[in-house]
Amino acid sequence: MRMKEQESTVRARELGEALRQAMQRAELNGRTLARRLGWSEPKVSSLLNGRHLVSEVDLSSFLALCGVIGAERAELLRLNREQKHSGEYLTTKLRTLASCEEAALAISNYEAQMIPGLLQTPDYMWGLMRRSKFVREENIAPRVDLRIDRQTIFDRTNPPRCTYFIEEAALRSSVGAPDVMSDQLHHLLRMSVRPYINIQVVPSSAGVHAGLCGAFALMRFDHVNPVVYLETSTSNVFIERPESIAIYEAILSDLSRLALSPGESAHRVATIAAEFAGGETDDHD
C-alpha cells in the first residue's frame, strides 16, 4: 500500500526512532526488511525518518517481522494513529521532550514561576516535585533522574544554543531551604558563562507582558519545522502549526526587549543568591 507523504512531525519522528530500535534489536537492516515485506527501500527509509504516513496494516506487518508484541506493539500502534494528527497533541510521557531536546539546534525557554528544568539542581528538583500535588513520592526519584539525564545535552560536542528568559519572581520564589536556593542561583551563574547558554532575567519592573500567559520552550531543528512545548500539571503539549509558532516567536522577541542584558542578569541573580545566603553579593560579571 502506498504511503501518503507528510511533513515530519514530533510524533512521526518518535515513531520512526522506536521502529529503528526495534529493527536493530531484530538484527534487520532496511534492505532486508523491505525485501521481506515486499516494500521499496525508500518506503522503509521514509517511515524511519518520520516523513510518511503508514497504514495500521503495514505497521503491524513491520512489527511482526521485528518480533514486537504486547504492550510495546500497542504503544507503537497508538503512536501511529496519533502522528496522523499534527499540530497539537498531548502525551503523558517525557521521552518525546527528551528526544526533541537531543535533536534541537537551538532552544528558547521562558519560565515565569520556576527555574528552567535543564538548569535545575537536583535539590531544587526534589523540593519542587515534593511540593507538587501531581507527583507521588515514589515517582519523584525517577523523574529527577530523567531530568538530570536530559541535562547531558550540554555535554554534547555541539550542544544546542540555549536562551533562557526567567522572571525575577521565579528567582525569588523559595523552593526548599535558603541554601538550596543559593546553590541553585549560583548554578545559574556557572551555567551562564558557557558560550552556548544565554540567561536573561525579566525584571519585576517589566510589568504585564505577553509571556505571562504561560511558560514554554521553542525548539529549532536542522531539517524540520520548529516545535513549541508546553507543560501542564498532568500532561505535555506539543505545538507545530506555523501560525502558532509565529505567536511564540513574537513573544520571544518581546521578552528580548524587556529582559535585562546577560551581564545585568548575572548581577541580579548574584544579588538574589546573596540574599538567600545572607551574605554579600558575589562578582560574577
pLDDT, tens digit (0-9, with 9 covering 90-100), for 240-276: 999 999 999 999 999 999 999 999 999 999 999 999 9
Q: By mean pLDDT, which of 17-26, 73-82, 172-181, 187-196 is the weakest?
A: 73-82
**Cα 7 to the center of its chain, rounded Å:** 20
Give per-residue pLDDT as tens, 160-212: 999 999 999 999 999 989 999 999 999 999 999 999 999 999 999 998 888 88
Residues 6+ apart with CB under 8 A from 32: none
Is the pLDDT at 51 greater than 60? The verdict is yes
Check residues 144 and 108 and name the one with the higher pLDDT: 108
Q: At what angle do helices 30-37 and 41-48 cross, to 10 degrees?
A: 120
Distance CA 143, CA 154 (A): 19
pTM confidence score = 0.72
Any alpha helices (H) in the chain, and if so which ranges?
A: 10-25, 30-37, 41-48, 56-65, 70-82, 95-103, 122-131, 137-150, 168-172, 178-192, 242-258, 262-277
pLDDT value, residue 143: 84
The set of cell numbers assigned to 81 is 494513529
pLDDT value, residue 97: 86
Is the pLDDT at 92 greater than 70? The verdict is no
Query: Domain map of the chain by residue range?
Result: 10-86, 91-277
**Cα 58 to the center of its chain, rounded Å:** 30
Provide the 3-class DSSP secondary structure of residue 98: helix
pLDDT value, residue 85: 53
CA distance to 178, 259, 268, per residue, from 263 (Å) = 24, 11, 9
Nearest to 201 by CA among 164, 232, 229: 164
CATH of 10-86, one of 1.10.260.40, 3.30.1490.190, 2.60.40.10, 3.90.1150.10: 1.10.260.40
pLDDT value, residue 3: 46
3-state helix vs strand vs coil in the chain, percent to 5 = 55, 15, 30
Is the pLDDT at 280 greater than 50? The verdict is no
Nearest to 166 by CA among 195, 197, 193, 201: 201
Tell the CATH topology of 91-277: Endonuclease; Chain A (3.30.870)
Average pLDDT value for the chain? 87
Calculate mean pLDDT across residues 116-123.
96
CA distance to 67, 137, 172, 175, per residue, from 150 (Å) = 30, 21, 25, 21
Is the pLDDT at 6 greater than 70? The verdict is no
Distance CA 83, CA 243 (A): 19
Check residues 279 and 207 and name the one with the higher pLDDT: 207
